[in-house]
Structure 1
Amino acid sequence: MIETLVLLPDMLSDARGWATVSTVISYGRPVMFAPIWTGDRIEEMASSILSGAPAKFALAGHGMGGVVALEIFRRAPDRVNRLPLIGTNPLSDTPQEAADREPLMVAARSGRFEEVLSRDVLPRQVAAGPERNAHLAHLAEMAQALGADVFERQQRAMQRRRDHQASLRRITQPTLVLAGELDQVVPRKRQEFLAELIPYAAFQMLEGVGHSVMLEDPEGTISALHAWLRQPLVLR
C-alpha cells in the first residue's frame, strides 16, 4: 500500500504554498495537507495533526511545519515512515531570538500587521530574481488571509518551542534535509547541522533560491521529494 504524504506548511502559509508540489506528488500517492494554526503551542498542533493522520504516513514539513514535524516524530516515531525537513531549524529560540519576536507581535496586535509583513517578514522569505515580486505577492496573500491573530499565536509557539537535538539522534527513517542556498530565515549551516545529527540523513541544497523553495524552485523540490519517496524503508 502506498503511504499518504502529510504536508505541513510554514508560518503564515496554507495549502497554496504547496500547490504545485502537492499536485504533482498526488499523481502517485495520496497527499494530505495539515494546518499548523489550530493551537497555541507546537505540542498542541502536533496532537491535532496526529489525531487526524493515517496510522502510518510520510511527513514533510517546511519551516515552522518542520518544527511541528519533529514534535510529531518525538511523540509518535512508529507512525512516521519518512521525514523530509525543508528550511527547518531544530533548535529552540535563543534569548535574543525570543526577544526579537516581541515587537513583531506587538505591532501586529496594534493594527500594523501589513507593515510587519512587508518590512520584517516577507522580504526574508524569497531570494532576489525575476519572480521575486510575484512570489512575495503570493506569500502576502496567504499571510493576510490567516491574519494577525494567527501570526501572533505562531510566533508565540515558535518562541516557546523545545530543542529537538535529542530527538534527531533517534531518527532512523529515510530523512531528507532540503535547503535553499540563499535562505535568510534558517541559514544553510543550521540546516547542515540538522542533517549531521540525524543518522544517515541526506542533505540537499537548491541553488539560487531562498527559504520558500516550493515557490522558488518547484521542479527542484519535486525532484528531491520524488527521490526521497522512492527510498526503501529502514527495517527496524
Structure 2
Amino acid sequence: MTTPRVPDMRRSYLRVRDVDLYCEDSGGVGEPILFLHGFFFDGRMYEAQIAALRDRYRCLTLDFRGQGRSGHARGGYQLEQLTADVLTVIRRLDLAPAHLVGLSMGGFVGMRIGAREPDQVRSLTLLNTGATPHPPAKYPLHLALTAVARLLGPSPALVLRGIEKELYGAPFRTDPTREPERQAWRRRWAQADRSSLANTMLGMMVRPDIRDELPAVSVPTLIVAGQLDVEMPPHLSREMHALIPGSRLVELDGVGHSSTLEDPARVTGILERFLAEIG
C-alpha cells in the first residue's frame, strides 16, 4: 500500500515559548481540522486522511516539540506543556473552534483541550488513546527502551523490534508489502533527537489520571480503538466512551496502535462519516 503524498501544503515554523514548532497547513475556507500525532511519529502519519479531506476542510498538522521536524527544547515535555503549545497554535492561527484529531499522545492532548477549553473545539476524535495513568506494568520495558535509545539512538535492531511491537499490530508489522512504509518511519526515527524522545517518554509516563475530567467533554466525540492495540488496549476506549456523554465508539479488527497508518482507508472513512454527520 502506498501512502498518498499531500502536495502543496504550506510549511512553516511557529515560535511557541522556547521552541520552533513545525506546522503544515492545506489552507482553504473549510472548517479547520488539527491533526495531533502519536509519540515517535509526526504529522506525516495523517497523510492519507489529509489527502481525502483537504478539498472540504482546512487540514493542519503540528509536530510536537522535540519530535518530527519541530525544534528541540531544553524542557517542557510534560503533557500539560504540550497541551499549552497546541492551545497557543490554535489561538495564534485563529482556528477555533477546530476539529481536533489526536492519536495516542495526540489524544492525551486533545481530550484535555476538549474537557477544559470547549470553546476551542468543534469536535474531538480520539484514536488509540486513553485517559488513565501510564500502566505500572509497562514501566520496566519503557524505561529500558528509553535508556537504550538515549544511549544508542533508535536505530539498533533490538530497539526497533521493541518499538514496532508496541506501535504496530501484527498484520501490518509482518506484511512484506508494507515494508517500504515501515522503512520510511525507521529512517525518520533514526534522525530523531534522542534526548527529546527520552524526555517525551518520561513526560508521558508521569501523566495523571484524567478520567474524572471526561464527563466535561461536551463536543461531538468519536473514539476509535484497534482490537490488536497492546499499547492502548480497547478497554481504555470503551471506558472513555462510557464517560464522555454522547460519544461514538468504533473498534477496528486487525489493527494495532497506529491505526491511521495500518488501515488508512477505514480510519479515513470513519472520520469522513463522523464529520459529515455532525455537519
* TM-score, structure 2 as length reference: 0.77
CA contact (8 A) 1:12 1:150 kept: no
Matches within 5 A, 1:1-236: 2-38=30-66, 39-53=76-90, 54-115=95-156, 117-129=159-171, 130=175, 131-232=177-278
CA contact (8 A) 1:8 1:34 kept: yes
Give the Cα–Cα distance (whole angstroms) in 1 for the partners of residues 219 and 228 of structure 2: 27
Residue 210 of structure 1 and its aligned partner are, at CA, apart by: 1.4
Contiguous gaps of at least 5 residues in structure 2: 1-28, 67-75
Once the two structures are superposed, what CA deviation does each residue of 1:128-176 show, in whole Å capped at 9, x if it has no partner?
Answer: 3334534432332332232322320220111121212011111121111
Residue 230 of structure 1 and its aligned partner are, at CA, apart by: 1.7
CA contact (8 A) 1:122 1:139 kept: no
CA contact (8 A) 1:24 1:222 kept: yes
CA contact (8 A) 1:88 1:191 kept: yes
Which amino acid in the other structure matches residue 80 of structure 2? E
Which amino acid in the other structure matches residue 121 of structure 1? I
C-alpha RMSD of the superposition: 1.9
Which amino acid in the other structure matches residue 48 of structure 1? D
CA contact (8 A) 1:122 1:140 kept: no
Give the Cα–Cα distance (whole angstroms) in 1 for the partners of residues 180 and 131 of structure 2: 29
CA contact (8 A) 2:115 2:218 kept: no
Give the Cα–Cα distance (whole angstroms) in 2 for the partners of residues 139 and 203 of structure 1: 28
Give the Cα–Cα distance (whole angstroms) in 2 for the partners of residues 74 and 172 of structure 1: 8
Which amino acid in the other structure matches residue 124 of structure 1? E
Contiguous gaps of at least 5 residues in structure 1: none
SS across alignment from 2:55: coil
Which amino acid in the other structure matches residue 190 of structure 1? L
Give the Cα–Cα distance (whole angstroms) in 2 for the partners of residues 10 and 75 of structure 1: 21
Once the two structures are superposed, what CA deviation does each residue of 1:48-71 show, in whole Å capped at 9, x if it has no partner?
Answer: 111111231110100111111122
Extract structure 1 runs of 4+ deviating beyond 4 A: none
Give the Cα–Cα distance (whole angstroms) in 1 for the partners of residues 184 and 127 of structure 2: 19
Once the two structures are superposed, what CA deviation does each residue of 1:188-228 show, in whole Å capped at 9, x if it has no partner?
Answer: 12221121111111110222221111111111011111111
Larger displacement relative to structure 2 (57-66 or 141-150): 141-150
Identity of aligned residues (%): 24
Residue 99 of structure 1 and its aligned partner are, at CA, apart by: 4.5
Which amino acid in the other structure matches residue 49 of structure 2? V
CA contact (8 A) 2:30 2:57 kept: yes
Larger RCO (alpha carbons 8 Å, 6+ apart): 1
Give the Cα–Cα distance (whole angstroms) in 2 for the partners of residues 227 and 195 of structure 1: 18
* TM-score, structure 1 as length reference: 0.90
Residue 120 of structure 1 and its aligned partner are, at CA, apart by: 1.4
